């Protein structure tokens, strides 16, 4: 029996219901649009929900933190690959984004001395200033605000347990002043009802997260991150930018298998004396708390590639010197337990008591966490195209992206805690912009969307139900995941990239020989097929971009190429899927930070690292006194004073009456 098709009409379709999708849907609805949210999982059940709940809020830790400082911080840490207008928008809107969260129910801890949200004690990975606010109940608190923003609007409908399969576009053959294509809708699979849903809409916002499931089990993200955002856009003809730039969180669990990939810390976790060591105990990276996530991950995986990795393919995060300090040690332990509590809980459960007390180093290994590249868009999330030219042009009319789906925000490295700000900054921008496009389409009285435009894709999708074959998509997916870590994971070589090209070609050839039953309701084999198809597409995009960037930069480490200097002319990689299923890549020049500002930034960074090195070289007694002063300064309570440690208590215990 043929699967039934249901037809619907909306102004804006939002793919994904996490932080970016929720903000986009809410903003579009507030702008008067009729909105449909499409989500694989229940609304709000995304990476946001399982995060530590840390949000970048400019000025939260330093009143002198300005927009240029934050924008420059993003750009230099990201290798100057970003679009300046996008980083400027992030820096400008981070406070407004945080206000949006609070409007929808988020409740931060308040610093009474500053009458504002209480920032974390030390800057998170790569930040030059303390500007990160975390929350009780971590990501659950954030996701509840997102959930509220969707379900409380009368103008938003949502479909859960529903897969967005493909965009439907219309060619523009008459007006050279307009983009070559425009969005006319999309086709969905509603698994719980066993229906295809053809949605007619002039705008679609893709906010369906990243691709980290390509590296499962070496990831800390939700299992639905199968690259849908990028594959869906690329099949429609959109350009993808900097797809070689994946963020691998450096400090995740390597073993036991039940905990593999889970986060146990980030650079700031190491505090003042933490270092990374190889299996022989040799220091491979010092001043860890001042490093970016990319620097830490690269140091670990270079040691592994050199044969100096630990038993489970990682390195040792050694924080014992922090904990052993007589006066400051208990304060460090309190800082460790309270700064990222979920991560610390993971470490305590997986690594045991001695490690939890920092009596021994932690074995850590990077895990896939975040895609820093994505769909090429402008600062309002609208798709753009470069067409081998430095000057961008409008891309597919009506196509938008936000959150992890979009590129141009982080370049080669993402600073800690920025994702939960980015979600809302660009969710709101894309939602408003998409609603404006939908209003414009209505005013211009464009010809109604013609159902025959949907028929070829509907026929193609329908034909998969009942497809006979000798392969199972789930098994092919496992094979792809295993090879992806070795070939396009934290470190790459030309040889391994070529190996990946061979594998993806072989797997693509098998798609037509995958068995899919004919039943419609919760057809898991069909779902596995569609996700495999998307994972193959993004594996090809990452491989092509990684071949084009033949030197190491940020999240892209080429063992067979040079380190790219911060003074080199920056460029982004652009890939797109062609009609012959190839994925050609080209380069687009980016503007570097003005030389004077870049030099000042780098000198300040070196000065911070030199001060850290000097601290580690001090006599233990003097160093301990200095560290105690630091901790008392950064761990202020509601009265501006640090919590006192009870005399004779175990490390990390807090005197009665102090704030938890």
- Digit-coded pLDDT (tens) for 550-609: 999 999 999 999 999 999 999 999 999 999 999 999 999 999 999 999 999 999 989 999
Specify the pLDDT at position 73. Answer: 92
Give the number of domains in the chain.
3
* Contact call for residues 439 and 32 (beta carbons, < 8 A): yes
- Which of 415, 450, 485 is where one domain is finished? 450
Specify the pLDDT at position 511. Answer: 96
Question: Region 160-186: what's the mean pLDDT?
Answer: 86
Distance CA 112, CA 441 (A): 49
Specify the pLDDT at position 258. Answer: 92
What residues contact 118, with CB distance under 8 A and at least 6 apart?
Answer: 108, 109, 110, 111, 133
**Cα angle vertex 455, ends 453, 458, to 5°?**
125
Distance CA 440, CA 213 (A): 38
Same domain? 304 vs 396: no
Specify the pLDDT at position 637. Answer: 45
Tokens of 639: 């009265």
Specify the pLDDT at position 657. Answer: 27
Residue that has been written with the tokens 């920032």 in this structure: 119
Specify the pLDDT at position 215. Answer: 96
- Which of 391, 423, 450 is where one domain is finished? 450
Give the Cβ contact number of residue 42 at 10 Å: 13
pLDDT averaged over every residue in the chain? 90
3 state SS for 282-297 = CEEECCHHHCCHHHHH
More confident residue, 469 or 450: 469
- Domain hosting 550: range is 467-589
Same domain? 229 vs 314: no
Question: Region 490-497: what's the mean pLDDT?
Answer: 96
Specify the pLDDT at position 647. Answer: 39
Specify the pLDDT at position 134. Answer: 82
Same domain? 144 vs 159: yes
Specify the pLDDT at position 441. Answer: 77
| Helix, strand, coil content of the chain in percent (nearest 5) | 40, 20, 40
Specify the pLDDT at position 49. Answer: 83
Same domain? 181 vs 87: yes
Give the confidence band of 652 by pLDDT, cuts at 50, 70, 90: very low
Q: Decide if pLDDT at 415 tops 70.
A: yes
Question: Region 464-469: what's the mean pLDDT?
Answer: 96
Strands 132-133 and 156-159 come out as unpaired
Same domain? 105 vs 237: yes
More confident residue, 281 or 142: 281
Same domain? 210 vs 83: yes
Q: Decide if pLDDT at 658 tops 50.
A: no
Specify the pLDDT at position 345. Answer: 93
Hey, which of 59-63, 171-175, 249-253 has the most confident mean pLDDT?
249-253
Question: Region 499-504: what's the mean pLDDT?
Answer: 97
CATH number of domain containing 437 = 3.50.50.60
Same domain? 233 vs 261: no
CATH number of domain containing 303 = 3.90.700.10
Give the confidence band of 260 by pLDDT, cuts at 50, 70, 90: very high
Same domain? 433 vs 571: no
Domain assignment of residue 397, yes or no: yes
Distance CA 563, CA 571 (A): 14
Give the confidence band of 173 by pLDDT, cuts at 50, 70, 90: low
Domain assignment of residue 660, yes or no: no
pLDDT digits (tens, 9 = 90+) for 355-371: 999 999 999 999 999 99
Q: Decide if pLDDT at 653 tops 50.
A: no
Domain assignment of residue 612, yes or no: no
Domain assignment of residue 237, yes or no: yes
Q: Decide if pLDDT at 448 tops 70.
A: no
* Contact call for residues 503 and 540 (beta carbons, < 8 A): no
Q: Decide if pLDDT at 52 tops 70.
A: yes
Domain assignment of residue 608, yes or no: no
Specify the pLDDT at position 51. Answer: 80
Domain assignment of residue 639, yes or no: no
Distance CA 441, CA 431 (A): 15
Same domain? 42 vs 81: yes
Same domain? 239 vs 273: no
Domain assignment of residue 595, yes or no: no
Hey, which of 275-289, 408-422, 431-445 has the most confident mean pLDDT?
275-289
Distance CA 413, CA 429 (A): 23
- Which of 391, 416, 450 is where one domain is finished? 450
Domain assignment of residue 515, yes or no: yes
Q: Decide if pLDDT at 264 tops 70.
A: yes
Q: Decide if pLDDT at 213 tops 70.
A: yes
Same domain? 483 vs 539: yes
- Helix axis angle, 524-548 to 473-488, nearest 10°: 20
Distance CA 146, CA 606 (A): 39
More confident residue, 656 or 626: 626
Question: Region 269-286: what's the mean pLDDT?
Answer: 96
CATH number of domain containing 545 = 1.20.58.100
What is the phi/psi pair of residue 361, to 5°? -65, 160
Give the Cβ contact number of residue 386 at 10 Å: 19
Q: Decide if pLDDT at 470 tops 90.
A: yes
What residues contact 332, with CB distance under 8 A and at least 6 apart?
Answer: 271, 319, 322, 323, 325, 358, 627, 631
Of the listed ranges 173-187, 223-237, 516-530, the least confidently predicted one is 173-187
Of the listed ranges 77-81, 517-521, 640-644, the least confidently predicted one is 640-644
Give the CA radius of gyration of the chain. 25
Tokens of 55: 């949000």
Give the confidence band of 651 by pLDDT, cuts at 50, 70, 90: very low
Give the confidence band of 639 by pLDDT, cuts at 50, 70, 90: very low
Same domain? 91 vs 125: yes
Give the confidence band of 159 by pLDDT, cuts at 50, 70, 90: very high
Tokens of 330: 């208990």
* Contact call for residues 28 and 35 (beta carbons, < 8 A): yes
Specify the pLDDT at position 339. Answer: 84
Q: Which helix (H) or strand (E) holds 111?
A: strand 110-111
């Amino acid at each position: 029996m043929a699967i039934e098709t249901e037809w619907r009409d909306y102004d804006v379709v939002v793919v994904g219901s996490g932080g970016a999708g929720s903000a986009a849907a809410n903003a579009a609805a507030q702008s008067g649009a009729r909105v449909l949210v499409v989500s694989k999982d229940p609304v709000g059940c995304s990476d946001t929900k399982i995060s530590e709940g840390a949000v970048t809020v400019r000025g939260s830790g330093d009143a002198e933190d300005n927009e240029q400082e934050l924008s420059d911080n993003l750009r230099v840490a990201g290798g100057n690959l970003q679009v300046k207008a996008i980083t400027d928008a992030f820096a400008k809107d981070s406070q407004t984004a945080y206000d949006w969260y609070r409007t929808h129910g988020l409740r931060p801890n308040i610093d009474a001395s500053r009458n504002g949200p209480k920032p974390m004690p030390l800057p998170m990975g790569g930040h030059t200033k303390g500007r990160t606010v975390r929350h009780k109940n971590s990501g659950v608190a954030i996701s509840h605000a997102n959930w509220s923003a969707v379900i409380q609007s009368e103008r938003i409908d949502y479909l859960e347990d529903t897969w967005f399969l493909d965009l439907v576009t219309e060619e523009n053959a008459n007006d050279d002043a307009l983009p070559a294509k425009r969005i006319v809708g999309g086709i969905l699979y509603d698994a719980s009802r066993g229906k295809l849903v053809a949605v007619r809409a002039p705008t679609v916002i893709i906010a369906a997260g990243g691709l980290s499931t390509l590296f499962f089990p070496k990831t800390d993200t939700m299992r639905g991150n199968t690259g849908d955002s990028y594959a869906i856009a690329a099949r429609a003809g959109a350009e993808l930018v900097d797809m070689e730039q994946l963020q691998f969180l450096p400090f995740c669990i390597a073993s036991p298998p039940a905990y593999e990939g889970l986060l146990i810390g980030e650079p700031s976790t190491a505090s003042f004396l933490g270092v990374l060591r190889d299996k022989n105990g040799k220091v491979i990276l010092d001043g860890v708390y001042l490093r970016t996530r990319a620097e830490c991950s690269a140091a670990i995986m270079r040691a592994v590639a050199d044969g100096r990795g630990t038993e489970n393919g990682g390195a040792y995060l050694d924080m014992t010197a922090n904990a052993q300090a007589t006066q400051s040690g208990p304060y460090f332990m309190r800082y460790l337990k309270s700064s990222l509590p979920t991560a610390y809980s993971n470490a305590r459960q997986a690594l045991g008591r001695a490690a939890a007390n920092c009596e021994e180093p932690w074995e850590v290994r990077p895990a896939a966490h975040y895609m820093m590249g994505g769909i090429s868009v402008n600062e309002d999330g609208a798709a753009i195209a470069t067409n081998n030219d430095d000057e961008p042009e409008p891309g597919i009319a009506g196509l938008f992206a936000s959150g992890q789906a979009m590129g141009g925000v982080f370049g080669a490295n993402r600073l800690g805690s920025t994702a939960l700000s980015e979600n809302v900054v660009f969710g709101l921008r894309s939602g408003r912009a998409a609603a404006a496009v939908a209003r414009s389409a209505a005013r211009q009285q464009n010809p109604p969307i013609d159902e025959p435009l949907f028929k070829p894709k509907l026929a193609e999708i329908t034909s998969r139900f009942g497809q006979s074959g000798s392969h199972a998509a789930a098994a092919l997916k496992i094979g792809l995941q295993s090879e992806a870590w070795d070939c396009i994971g934290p470190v790459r070589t030309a040889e391994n990239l070529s190996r990946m090209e061979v594998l993806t070609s072989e797997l693509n050839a098998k798609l037509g020989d995958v068995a899919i039953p004919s039943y419609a309701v919760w057809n898991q084999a069909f779902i596995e097929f569609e996700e495999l198809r998307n994972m193959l597409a993004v594996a090809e995009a990452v491989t092509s971009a990684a071949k084009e960037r033949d030197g190491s930069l940020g999240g892209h480490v080429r063992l067979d190429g040079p380190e790219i200097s911060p003074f080199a002319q920056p460029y982004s990689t652009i890939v797109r899927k062609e009609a012959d299923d190839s994925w050609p890549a080209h380069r687009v020049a980016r503007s570097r930070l003005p030389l004077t500002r870049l030099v000042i930034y780098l000198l300040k960074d070196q000065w911070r690292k030199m001060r850290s090195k000097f601290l580690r070289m001090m006599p233990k007694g003097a160093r301990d006194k200095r560290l105690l002063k630091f901790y008392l300064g950064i761990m202020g309570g509601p009265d501006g004073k640090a919590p006192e440690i009870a005399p004779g208590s175990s490390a990390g215990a807090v005197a009665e009456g102090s704030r938890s």
